[in-house]
Structure 1
Amino acid sequence: MAKTSHYSILIEEKLIIYAILATWPAYIFGLLYLLGSVIAWVILLIVMLRLYIEGPRHYQQLSVLVLLWALGMLLLLICLLIAHAEWQLGAAKTIKSSFGWAKGWALFALFIGLGALLPLNLTNISRACCWLALMGGLYAFVSVFAFILKLPQSLYISPLQFMGGGGPEFFDVRLYGINPETSWPRWFFYAPWAPAGGLVASLLLIMCSRTEQRPLRLAGMASCVLMMILCQSRVAWILLVICGPLYVFMRLSAQRPIYLLLAVIAPVLLLFSVEAIELLQTTMDDIKNARPDSTRVRAELAQIAIQSWQNDAYWFGHGIVIAGPKSVEFMPIGSHHSWYGLLYVKGLVGLLAFACPLVMTALYLLWRAHEDADICCGFVLCFILCVYSFTENLEILAYIIWPALLWIGASLKIPSNHSIDKSCLEPILQNAKYS
């Protein structure tokens, strides 16, 4: 995206960079959940103070999509309040759930809005993400030796757990984990569970690719690939193959030769379409069978969530999450899936409140992806979130995926050709002054 000629880093951007670099230290000391949940509100407070004292001269105009995100996340809060009132859950649970909204869904609107509002230099954000990924690569080597030496999986659970409101897994500092189905180690990194680590690594891989310093970029991306492999997330492995070609295609989509190439390739692909579909089906079956217990639990959780939503709380949901039966290992109903979770907790209205801004953002960035490499990265990041929304509850992971939300927000800035360049008006104003 176009950089301003006289660029000066605001304190807001410095806080963002420091927060990204502080991710691993915060994880080691059990502060990561608090850091990711609070940083957006702190920056928002600074923005409000700056607007009050200095006015809007440092900030940029918000687009309709950014306002749609704010409206959608506010609507989720309204759904929560209505559901709590309908189910008579009491004031204590309503207040607790409202704080949960402020640390979850609200962060989507806040970070996307801040990314669009602030004059961020995405090169600095990308560089910070590279250093974050490098620390993850170093942590991987240390934890591999920890597994070889049979050191404990978990170092400790932070005593600050009472301040965060999340489960113990959000404050558990671990060197590695063990896959109960295979008895092989798998790595969580600074995520609460391994598939979430794959989501973080996938997002970091895209953001690291925009660093201008080649050695740092290659080292950061290599660390991300290592993290994606070690987390043993099946979705991360698929994205590792897809995201690169997707990014290249979107960057070339404005050039006519790419469509000529597609016109040549399409008939060839049609000739082998049956074999391709069979191969895809076989591959999907192999992926599911790689962890059959996990696939079974996910399917049962989805079925319970759908039935409970249809029968009990169609429009505004149940308001809170409860644990499922023993057949799903007491996993929370609606977990492992953003859309089933939204239907169960927030109902159909809540699902639409999140789906509309997400889908419209993805389509808008798809339309503009060929214009700029940073916007193209924003589209790929949005694509990754869309894919993982079918396997993870994105709300509860907002505290670790927030750099990607910032980047998506920066990609939603109003194009410069949609605004008036006041410098062009200066000669006219001068002539009018002396006439």
Structure 2
Amino acid sequence: MAKTSNHPLLVEERVILIALIATWPAYLGGLLYVLGSMIAWVLLALVCLRSLVEGNAVYFRTSPLSCLWILAMGLMLLCLWYAHIDWELGAGKTIKSSFGWAKGWALFALFIFLGSILPLTLSRISRACCWVACMGAAYAFISIFAYALSLPQSLFISPLQFMGGGGPEFFDVRLYGINPETGWPRWFFYAPWAPAAGLVATLMLMMCAREQHWLMRGLGIASCALMIILCQSRVAWLLLLLIFPVYYFSRLTNQRWVYLLLGATVPVMILFSADVLELLNSTMDNIKNSRPDSTRVRAELAQIALQSWESDAYLFGHGIVIAGPKSVEFMPIGSHHSWYGLLYVKGLIGLLAFATPLVLSLLYLFWRANAHPDIATGFALVVILCVYSFTENLEILAYLIWPALLWIGACLNPRREFLSQITKTEAQGHLQIAK
């Protein structure tokens, strides 16, 4: 898989690394949503152009799971169109929602597909993630001083907000935020809200951990941990404690002693199951009670989404998102949960279209995780997405998590080593011709 390599950068990989390094400058310029939404389509155009010019079919030798992601996200679009026709929402809303699909669910398929066909050097992505995390830590220290000096929370809102997104918060450049329940500062970094920052930092944590240089790896991991702590996302805090054990367990699945240990542990756990369940329930209650208003809003939004889906649009959903009542502070229905959001907007068919490739990818990467640490990292990334799918709407955050999707796509292709060798040889040949 991906070890440190000195072979020349292809155009596509250069674009990816530049876009990743430009995360913070793009955010400070109000361009991050545009960058994350457009880069997949730019990369796809470059790949198509390269295949036409060079006539090399190797750039489309993808994996079955990557093809499944493409078919599933295409089915999402069909569900969207059917719901718009069924509810007579009009051509204007249909076009707008189709553009929303292109900036949301379509990015899952595109980045995973691109990650599977491009011979990416994942160690370079790890290094870029370390730089982004270190810039996040520097931004945290600057914003802490800004809070201490009582400077304004928001610097400005980008005029590019007309391009869409979930609201002005996607284009708001902020130094820090305030938790309304506690009155204490809470950091969003370059995400639209704090829990989304926790998702991004947790994904980046696992990619930074694959950095080869010990100093950069340490700085990257420490910076990601700082971001997780300051964003005050309860799910991110939990994953900070659990994701590395999950990663190391997946690396040991080919060891017989692991299964012997599990076999000896299960009877003990059964004996103390009542105490364990009581401890888990108590922990969950403490987590929920730490932010009771947020927990109440999430529960009410889930109930509204389920009732509306079951009674009005069982198979194909409502097609669009609408704001909830005052009791949920007018939050969009399904906005705090990927699965409830899918049921409400795209129905049962849409939910299955996302669940099927996600679960199969999780199982496949777990099966192959012991083959290489990069694949185990890909498995950990899918685990993080699965966990956060129950607390966030992943669709509208696709523009932030695209490096993780590229990594997952690279790990889903069983012919990745072959692709890397082909492209390395071609790149060296191009270099010699240039000389």
Measured against the shorter chain, the TM-score band is over 0.9
Q: Indicate the larger mover: 32-41 or 269-278.
A: 269-278
The answer (yes or no) to whether the contact 2:2–2:121 under 8 Å persists in 1 is: no
Q: Indicate the larger mover: 165-174 or 360-369.
A: 165-174
User: Quick check: 1:8 aligned with 2:12?
Assistant: no
Counterpart of 2:22 in structure 1 is 22
Number of paired residues? 421
In structure 2, stretches of 5+ residues that fail to align are 423-435
C-alpha distance 365-235 of structure 1, shift in aligned 2 (>3 A): same
The answer (yes or no) to whether the contact 2:4–2:124 under 8 Å persists in 1 is: no
The answer (yes or no) to whether the contact 1:58–1:119 under 8 Å persists in 2 is: no
Q: Name the SS for the 2:321 alignment partner.
A: coil
| CA–CA distance in structure 1, aligned partners of residues 366 and 201 of structure 2 | 22
1:350 alignment partner AA: G
**How many angstroms does 1:14 deviate by?**
0.6
| CA–CA distance in structure 2, aligned partners of residues 416 and 335 of structure 1 | 36
Counterpart of 2:351 in structure 1 is 351
**How many angstroms does 1:274 deviate by?**
1.6
1:254 alignment partner AA: N
Task: Spell out the pairing of 1:33-432 with structure 2 (5 A cutoff).
Answer: 33-56=33-56, 59=59, 61-415=61-415
The answer (yes or no) to whether the contact 1:60–1:119 under 8 Å persists in 2 is: no
| CA–CA distance in structure 2, aligned partners of residues 166 and 194 of structure 1 | 15
Q: Indicate the larger mover: 254-263 or 345-354.
A: 254-263
**How many angstroms does 1:165 deviate by?**
4.6
**How many angstroms does 1:39 deviate by?**
0.3
**How many angstroms does 1:69 deviate by?**
0.2
Q: Name the SS for the 1:160 alignment partner.
A: helix
TM-score normalized by the length of structure 1: 0.94
Q: Indicate the larger mover: 69-78 or 143-152.
A: 143-152
| CA–CA distance in structure 1, aligned partners of residues 25 and 369 of structure 2 | 35
**How many angstroms does 1:3 deviate by?**
5.9
1:383 alignment partner AA: V
The answer (yes or no) to whether the contact 2:165–2:396 under 8 Å persists in 1 is: no
| CA–CA distance in structure 1, aligned partners of residues 205 and 179 of structure 2 | 24
| CA–CA distance in structure 1, aligned partners of residues 60 and 220 of structure 2 | 30
Q: Name the SS for the 1:180 alignment partner.
A: coil
The answer (yes or no) to whether the contact 2:188–2:194 under 8 Å persists in 1 is: yes
TM-score normalized by the length of structure 2: 0.94
2:187 alignment partner AA: W
Residues 286-313 of structure 1 show CA distances to partners (whole Å, capped at 9, x for unaligned) of: 0000001000000000010011111111
| CA–CA distance in structure 2, aligned partners of residues 138 and 333 of structure 1 | 36
**How many angstroms does 1:2 deviate by?**
5.7
C-alpha distance 2-167 of structure 1, shift in aligned 2 (>3 A): closer
In structure 1, stretches of 5+ residues that fail to align are 423-435
| CA–CA distance in structure 2, aligned partners of residues 22 and 341 of structure 1 | 31
C-alpha distance 216-53 of structure 1, shift in aligned 2 (>3 A): same
**How many angstroms does 1:276 deviate by?**
1.3
Residues 179-232 of structure 1 show CA distances to partners (whole Å, capped at 9, x for unaligned) of: 101111110000000000000000000000001011000100000000001000
The answer (yes or no) to whether the contact 2:116–2:416 under 8 Å persists in 1 is: no
Counterpart of 2:428 in structure 1 is none
Q: Percent identity?
A: 69
| CA–CA distance in structure 2, aligned partners of residues 196 and 333 of structure 1 | 17
| CA–CA distance in structure 2, aligned partners of residues 228 and 4 of structure 1 | 28
Give the CA RMSD over aligned residues: 1.8
The answer (yes or no) to whether the contact 1:317–1:347 under 8 Å persists in 2 is: yes
**How many angstroms does 1:160 deviate by?**
1.6
Q: Name the SS for the 1:155 alignment partner.
A: strand
**How many angstroms does 1:55 deviate by?**
2.0
| CA–CA distance in structure 2, aligned partners of residues 2 and 331 of structure 1 | 42
The answer (yes or no) to whether the contact 1:61–1:414 under 8 Å persists in 2 is: no
